[in-house]
Structure 1
């Protein structure tokens, strides 16, 4: 996006938020406003939250009536022929005084808002109407709205929900949700307009309140709540979205506010504002940053990382005042646990070993290092995810050393040595060895926590996944003569498959060539190959639409690129499309040591129709390395090696040489004959002619071979 377009997007977002702030708060469907008919200062505007609940905004009553209630009737005008609506606590007691307050009250069982004719503040003792309103005729109260099923056909990452229901202005219920969890950066996603995208859209928390990458679902029904400052009227769509690959897994459209008649958000709904930090330090470029601010006698720290679920980020003070030392260090370990809840745990690093709860040895939480006087002095403040896949966990801890043995003091009068690490969390919720990254003893990183403002560059823009050490080895496919390849989709195999093979973040699916997961192809120049493409042919179902093409771009996804990004990229063949065939499995790929073992769990599901046919003659000037890719998504394909000669060609050449040798032998025999029979010159000449014709025939056949 160029600078002008970026400025336009910023302006539009600012205007959109201004409009959102100016929009009146939604309280439900207006019923009416009380008219004061006494000296008891009756006031308030009444809304229907749903068929059985009323909301009164700005309710006033002086409380002086001896036997006054909120009173309603189903016909006529206010009179004794009515019933009590219990007050906001659900009690049928006389009303106390109200001074411009907002309350919700629930009708008695069997009564509905649409059946009401009037609502009053009524004193039974004197049959007095202190104030009332008339309910409009044919009133239709708000109700939850079923937006229908979610998901494409065929499904994208098996995403499906039988119904998405707007419960109220702040909540959506997703019924019988299914999702395979294979998207690398997939979120519950909302935004204005009817088309999901990465510009202006944003994630909302899952059912636990976490805005992290969502885990698999197997038919659960969940309720999602919009964060503070956002409600259903701000958005035009809801769904599951992968920001890494700008991919829609399935969404539903949200009608405009004028078309909605839904319950309002509960009066108590709300959320917190994210903290901002004046200082930041980069610990690992594009992977890990620490931000902080001094807050009285505490320091508030935010660790921002590109960690995946199951990994931790730790930061704290060195075990030595004169350099970087892990042993004796005081750190806080942050991570998202297996219940998707954020954690911030105070650790003391007694040794370079896993924690031993029996004696508190190794890297242990302070509460384990000493059950008597060790405390967790890290208090979780908030956590959230950003659309670029960055996890932010914010915690507070005292500047002073709370535990004499296990804590160190953060000073603000000069630089002090710090340590950090990243690695996996054990099943018991404690740190394992930092096999990803850590502060080296030689780094001697110091931070002045009292320094003026400082900033860091954006995090998570170019993060890659380190290759696993025990991934799958996929045999390459070498075809130096005319050949046909089947091209289909399938699961990428996670860290053992695509990520291990390529060293890059996968999307959860990848190309299968001849039934193999992204094999490296070796092809020959000036030879024609046929690719039978079954990557999906319905662009409306964009998650299952994968046109096949051949390019010199290692990432693919040409359709996603801007004109500037396309400069210097060459497409050598395609794109070509055909009905989707995909290999699917519910098995965990990490449980299989080889792809062949994992492949036994795969089943192939194919849409009806014939595959697309892409014929490609490898150009004579093609570079030595190309890639087969998906035209609409990045990181789904792999390498094509282009050659003039290879093993098979060499073998053919050897055969030709052998033939030539045979010819030479024949010639030698003729020469011998000539020597023996000096007067048989004609025979010798005939033999020589035969030899020449044999050589000519061989050359002619070879030329025909090259042509055909």
Structure 2
């Protein structure tokens, strides 16, 4: 990662401003709304209590001698602390049926989450209470008029480029953003979550790690709900916007403005981001299972073809399924219908898969009354089809190198005793798994015997560090082995449509041209950067739909013809412009300043879901994964008459950006090629100039003979 002087300066300023998570104008650390100081009655109780949010308390500097035989944090709504209250579990991630008795504390900071859906407005006091002897060691009372900090809901991302969109973004606390239903095609070469100051995103900003804590360029998202956290001591009070920003090309794909009147909870660790179990923050490679994850449990099923990872979180369990399956298949995991054996009938499972029609991942609650396809009443049925509800919450999903990985949560116990089975708080339970095809309803279909559990396998969902998975599932060829598409040729045409579209990932723009891209490129006559053949003395018409909104750089791509392999005439200095010859698409005003003449309305070939270039071996198949979206307005018309002295090789480019276009071959009259595709692979681009001339000469001879 390159650190510029400007970004370092901004980081230092942000560090000073955000000292102690303080709010604007605050010279002291901010812990939330002050409730009061714990009153001591016994055992050295000390501490100051704050309301962090509607369900969370923070005790600053808590002290207790630890000698009480049955002491707990205790809350209630009676007039004074009494046996009518209930325990606030601490630590939160305890295992077992009952939380542990409080041990000794010496000026420690404690975060308490109210259980059972309770809120601070439902309680009148917090106590350190001895349950065995009904003794109050210390307490603090909650003011009746207390207003606690709350999460703030913002608008969605502004939609500017690369299919970026989302639901309304929430500020969960002073450092944490929740971004629901995030869509982004992943085609930007150097895109990150980006924050900074000012009225709109600018290059002077700071990268924000993604939901996995990584600063790698952003992948594609297709309707996922994620959380991200600001780095270091930076808080939402120090920034004016959150964006998805391409650093290399200084472009804003979309952003949301942060209002100044926020009153959100402090960031004290109460908002937790749980990265996928395979994530290794020291690795910059593609996702790969981290076998030695100290907080993970993992088992392999179905002859190591399915990996199941789990972790109990309070009254829920988070589960991750990973399997090498096709897009038309599902993976299923859940509780066996009978204890001590692998029984599909009576099983309570979750069916997880990638819905290619919708471009989303799904995790669905199922009940199996019979080993047959669901008929709406019986069989392998989604709970919602048989009168129940889907108690499963999808967390995230990814399909990487033929491996589908889906993370979801489900309650340990629901209010549906017929369709759902309870997961025990401790102890082993028999589990089952399966892999099979999806039917036309996107529901689980039949599976073969090798694709379902036959032996009894048991899991203790409350266990920790039960990790027995290998990395074999992910030992697949790297994407660098992808074969580039053959470059296209357009010849014997006098009219061209010019639009914006994706670059085709590792099969398209960069392997064809040898140049980096920033995620979009010119599409001519619905081909990705084809090589165009024109004849001297002929006039050609370009119907340009590259966007004419010069206030939005992501939607402003005037078209011009030049001898520059890079383009971007409008962003060059005067000296650089002098070194570039322009043949069409640029005029000069009365003061000698250049301006583009061909922009037109904005039309873009966009991914229907995410970039599928890695999965499609031919350009024709890839084209079927795209859809054309055009704004209202008219196209621009550029007429170009090729002069006799025009050089043999030119380039069509973007006036405002580098590296969007490719080659124009200028030939003498009658020498245009009579085919529209290079017959060999893209390696022909690396032939020497002499060899290329020989090939071209042979083609010309053949064409004359053909006449």
TM-score norm. by structure 1 comes to: 0.54
Secondary structure of the structure 1 residue equivalent to 2:515: coil
Question: Which of the numbers 106, 110, 113 marks the counterpart of 1:99?
Answer: 106
Q: Is 1:54–2:57 an aligned residue pair?
A: yes
Partner Cα separation in structure 2 for residue 492 and residue 597 of structure 1: 15
Native 8 Å contact 1:35 1:132 kept in 2: yes
SS at 2:205's partner residue? coil
Question: Alignment partner for residue 600 of structure 2, among 552, 568, 578?
Answer: 578
Distance 1:559 1:97 in 2: 68
- Give distance in 2, aligned partners of 1:343 and 1:104: 31
Distance 1:427 1:551, change over 3 A: farther
Report the alpha carbon displacement of residue 151 of structure 1 after superposing the two structures with TM.
5.0
Larger radius of gyration: 1
Distance in 1, matches of 2:222 and 2:137, equals 56
Name the residue aligned to 1:143: 150
Work out which of the residue numbers 641, 654, 668 in structure 2 matches 1:630: 654
The answer to whether structure 1 residue 83 and structure 2 residue 85 are counterparts is yes
- TM-score when scaled to structure 2? 0.54
For residue 254 of structure 1, what is the aligned residue in structure 2? Answer: 258
Displacement after TM superposition at 1:597 (Å): 6.1
1:204 positional shift: 0.6
2-structure distance, mates of 1:74, 1:502: 70
Deviation string for 1:601-654 (max 9, x for gaps)?
A: 6543322322123345567876554432223332111233456x43379xxxxx
3-state SS of paired residue (1:260): coil
Q: Give the C-alpha shift of residue 266 in structure 1.
A: 1.8
**Which residue is equivalent to 2:436?**
none
The equivalent residue for 1:214 is 218
CA distance in 1, matches of 2:615, 2:89: 59
Q: Which aligned pairs between 1:113-512 and structure 2 lie closer than 5 A?
A: 113-116=120-123, 119=126, 130=138, 132=140, 135=143, 137-152=144-159, 156-193=161-198, 195-207=200-212, 209-256=213-260, 259-262=262-265, 264-266=267-269, 336-337=285-286, 339=287, 429=475, 471-477=485-491, 483-512=494-523
Aligned equivalents of 1:342 and 1:187: distance in 2? Answer: 24
For 2:137 and 2:284, how far apart are their aligned partners in 1? 60
The Cα shift of 1:217 comes to 2.7
Shift of 1:96: 5.5
The aligned counterpart of 1:678 is none
Alpha-carbon separation, structure 2, partners of 1:217 and 1:203:
16
Distance apart, 1:594 and its partner CA: 5.6
1:43 and 2:46 aligned: yes
After superposition, residues 560-575 of structure 1 pair within 5 angstroms as: 560-561=571-572, 568-569=579-580, 571=582, 572-574=584-586, 575=596
User: Higher relative contact order at CA 8 Å, sep ≥6: structure 1 or structure 2?
Assistant: 2
- Higher share of residues assigned helix: 1
Cα deviation, residue 532, structure 1 = 2.0
Cα pair distance change 1:118/1:642, threshold 3 Å:
same
- CA change 1:206–1:477 in 2 (3 A) is farther
1: CA distance, partners of 2:616 / 2:240: 42
1:22 to partner: Cα distance: 6.0
Rounded to whole Å, the distance in 2 between the matches of 1:51 and 1:193 is 32
Please give the per-residue CA displacement for 1:237-263, whole angstroms capped at 9, x wherever unaligned.
Answer: 33433333333333323334x513236
> SS at the partner of 1:201?
strand
Q: Is the 8 A contact 1:511 1:636 kept in 2?
A: yes
Report if aligned partners of 2:10, 2:204 keep a CA contact under 8 Å in 1: no
Q: CA offset at residue 264 of structure 1?
A: 2.8
Matched, 1:31 2:31: no
Aligned length: 462
The gaps in structure 2 that reach 5 residues or longer are: 23-27, 93-97, 275-280, 293-470, 587-595, 673-707
Per the alignment, residue 526 of structure 2 pairs with 515
Distance 1:131 1:265, change over 3 A: closer
Classify the secondary structure of the residue corresponding to 2:259.
coil
Contact 2:38 2:48 in 1 (8 A): no
Which consecutive unaligned segments of at least 5 residues does structure 1 have? 272-301, 304-333, 345-424, 437-467, 650-708
Whether the 8 Å contact between 1:189 and 1:203 is mirrored in structure 2 is yes
